[in-house]
Structure 1
Amino acid sequence: MNQIADRYRRRAEAFEQKIAAVRPGQWSEQSPCAAWTARDVVAHIVAMHAAMLRPVHRDLSPAPSVGDDPLAAFLAARVDVQAVLDSPELAETECDTPTGQMSVEQQIDEVLSDDLVLHGWDLARATGQDDAMDPGDVARLWSSALAIPADLMEKCRTPGAFGPGIEVYGPEVTVPDDAPLQDRLLGLLGLDPR
């Protein structure tokens, strides 16, 4: 099987479990992202699934809205993206991205799949769940984050640089050099691990 598809499947499953564990009264809880509630975190992830389908001229399948049923909305979006990853023809389609041209599956891997890990932490924090990330995912994301050129990282920290209302990373949060790698990753990407 394809490593990218497998990684997405594993991370989507973990995110799905976090959604399923949210109690009804918790959807309005504040997430570590200042502008988002727990429900907003899921809405962002579903919107990112839709964005990953555009290069292959697809839309999300009809499904309940995140406002009505966050889990059902995510499950439907997940099926749509998995179908693209499972089709070599669609997965290998080249697309333009803010960081250059790449295959659709590579964009899904570097953007959406990574988002599932990071925003899984946000959702867990907002709703009192275990917020430990998979150590292998943390190491992979840490390596990827360190490889981002300084000028691109600066652009990622600039609100609106990739379009109105889009903020990729916040200002770096200082954490001790001997902090766990997960905390250092979160701090580097502008999230306060505390």
Structure 2
Amino acid sequence: MALSDHPAERHRQVAGLFAERVRGTRAWDAPSPVAGWAARDVVRHLTEWFPGFLAAGSGITLPCGPPVDEDPVAAWQVHCDGVQAVLDDPETAHRELSNPHIGSVPLATAIDRFYTADVFMHTWDLCRATGQDDRLDAGFCAELLAGMEQMERVIRASGQFGARVEVPGDADVQAKLLGFIGRDPFWRSA
């Protein structure tokens, strides 16, 4: 199934798949492809960085769920539902997110570009850590890769991505995206 181009619907699809993988996780302490992170840290990352980014740039406060260490499934669901409510709110169409690094951007676009894309990429991390189906939408992989390659210097300077991992020239677009963001697409849990 191809992902929607509309931010609210794309978030529903991407976050919904991540929620399925969260519910399918049985070993929260399993190592992930992100050095020093376990499966629960993938959920922690997504539920902890975005609320502050959203509040600082738009004044919107997301509801708080239980701590990830207590209940990662509920923590994700409360967070995910809160983000979806913002995207589904008709007023979102008239709001912007302002940030010193990106300027002012329509709120739904900012959520889609920075947050939903992050959930999409971290889905692979959680899947690899927990042995679940890690296939990502190839069209969105291609879209993200094309956009990020144009900004590689800025992306690398941000410190938010690891060093590029070289992949074979005939690798599929998912492997190319993963290599670009600093993941070894052939990583397996020990």
What TM-score do the two structures reach when normalised by structure 2?
0.88
Q: Which residue of 1 aligns with 2:67?
A: 65
Q: Which residue of 2 aligns with 1:142?
A: 145
Deviation, structure 1 residue 92: 3.5
State the Cα deviation string for residues 113-149 of structure 1 (Å, max 9, x = none): 001111000000001111111122212212222232x
Distance across 2 between alignment mates of 1:101 and 1:57: 13
The amino acid across from 2:162 in the alignment is G
Q: What RMSD in Å do the two structures reach over aligned CA positions?
A: 1.8
What TM-score do the two structures reach when normalised by structure 1?
0.86
Aligned pair partner of 1:82 in 81, 84, 98: 84
Distance across 1 between alignment mates of 2:8 and 2:19: 16
Aligned pair partner of 2:179 in 175, 187, 191: 187
Tell whether the 8 Å contact from 1:121 to 1:131 is kept in structure 2 after alignment.
yes
Deviation, structure 1 residue 65: 1.3
Deviation, structure 1 residue 99: 2.7
Give the aligned length.
181
Deviation, structure 1 residue 179: 0.8
The amino acid across from 1:81 in the alignment is V
More displaced 10-residue stretch of structure 1: 55-64 or 180-189 = 55-64
Which consecutive aligned stretches of 4+ in structure 1 deviate over 3 angstroms post-superposition?
Answer: none
The amino acid across from 2:118 in the alignment is D
Q: Give the structure, 1 or 2, with the largest relative contact order (CA under 8 Å, sep 6 or more).
A: 2
In structure 2, the gaps of 5 or more residues are none
Q: Which residue of 2 aligns with 1:165?
A: none
Deviation, structure 1 residue 186: 0.6
Tell whether the 8 Å contact from 1:49 to 1:81 is kept in structure 2 after alignment.
no
